[in-house]
Structure formats: structure tokens, C-alpha cells
Amino acid sequence: MRQRARIVVLLLATAVLALVPCAARAHLFHKTYEPPENQMTRDTRLLQLLLDDPRERFELARRVWDGTTRVRIKPGGFRRWLVRPNEPGMVFKADYQLHRWSASLKAEAGRIDGQYGTALVARIEHGLAARHRDAVKTALLEMYVVLLRELLETLWQHLDRPEATAALYPFVLRYYSVNLEGHLNTSRPLAATTARAALDAMARAFGDPETGAPPAPEGFDRQRRRLLRVLGEAVARP
């Protein structure tokens, strides 16, 4: 099952990072670095904005969720267009080959349900139908904890490949920031501090080809487990 997750999971990185890994490595310790976006994180961010919209844009949120509509922010509101085959963003599979992501948040949640026996799709769709913002947001938080766990496991197994760590670690930061960081900052500030410390410590565990410093897999694994434990506790339903 884990092998399948490593192969199927979307280990998201941009084509730019794939082509210039040295530039990506230069950002690992830069505190003002903005992690890269991809279609899945864009859809997640826009879904959150729609859920919080006082005009209750639940129908549009549902179409973003199931991938039938892409939404772009514009001043004063949203602009949308139907998905076309040439619109999906570039992503990495576990073999680091470029592919286009033409799925949806719903499809990704369905993959997770099938892989781990969760019920994310049913919970999110019920929340959207009932116009229950918190139900949708809670399920999305749990979804991103799973995505982070899968991504970190593959990253841990490729610490000896600097180009892999350079391409994948920025998406660890994006997965955390797009859907988990805000929740922890507002509701669990101590957990947010611990999570950020774990993320920083994981970055320090990467090897440095320029100085010849080797990676520290045990240290990375320790901080990975620390982060996932904190996130699991923070998003656990009562």
C-alpha cells in the first residue's frame, strides 16, 4: 500500500524547479521565500476563499471542488472558466517525471479514501450540500495531513538526491501553508510553533553538495514524525 502511495501520490513541483534545482536549493533557508503553487493548491486556496465569502458561494465552491470549473481571483470578485484539457498544472510523480495534473480536489480525496479507508469525499460533499463551512474545512485539513505524510515519506527516501529534495521540499512548505498553517496559528499557536520548528529542522537535515555535508536521515525522520504528530493532534475531531 505504501509503495502504491509513493507511485500514485502527487508529489507536486513546478517545471521550473525541475529544470533549475540549484536555484530551488538556494531558497531552502530563506525566510521570505514564497513556496511555489500548483493547480491543487490553487484550487484549495480558492475553495477556502469561496467558503468564507459572505455571499455564500457554495455552488461555485462545489464546482471548484469537483474540478468542473477553474476559478481565478480578480479585484472585486471571482472570474471562472470551464476546464479545458490544456489547462492543468505540471506535477511530479514519484519517479520525478513531469506529468499534467488534470484531476480535482474531489478525485484526490477519493484516492485517499480508497487508499486509507477515510470518508473525505462524503464528508466534504455533505458539508457543501448543507452549507456547513467548518465541516468542509475540517475534512480539507485532514486531507492535507495525509498529503504531507505521503510527500514527506517519499522525500525521506530520497535524501541522497539533492535534486529531489530541492524540488519537493518547497511543496512541503506549500502544503503546510495553504491549508494547515493558518488553522494552527489561530487555534493552536503552540502547535504552530512546534510545526514550524520541525519544518526548519527538516531543511537542515538535507545534505549540502557545495560543502560536502551529508544528509541526516535519522534527524529528518525524527522531525518528520514530530511534525505529523503535531498536525494529527491539531486536526483530530473531538
Round to whole Å and give the CA distance between 122 and 96: 31
Report residue 10 as a C-alpha cell.
Answer: 502527487
Q: Is the model's pLDDT at 202 over the cut of 90? A: yes
Q: What is the 3-state secondary structure (H, E, C) of 147-187?
A: HHHHHHHHHHCCCCCHHHHHHHHHHHHHHHHHHCHHHHHHH
> How large is the average pLDDT for residues 126-152?
95
Q: What is the amino acid identity at position 119?
A: A
Tens digits of per-residue pLDDT, 6-54? Answer: 434 433 333 323 333 333 333 333 344 456 777 888 889 989 989 998 8
Residue 20: predicted pLDDT: 32
Q: Residue 195: in which H helix or E strand, if any? A: helix 189-204
DSSP 3-state percent helix, strand, coil across the chain (nearest 5): 60, 10, 30
pLDDT band at 70 (very low <50, low <70, confident <90, very high): confident
Q: Is 56 left (phi over 0), alpha (psi -120 to 50) or beta?
A: left
CB atoms within 10 A of CB 58: 20
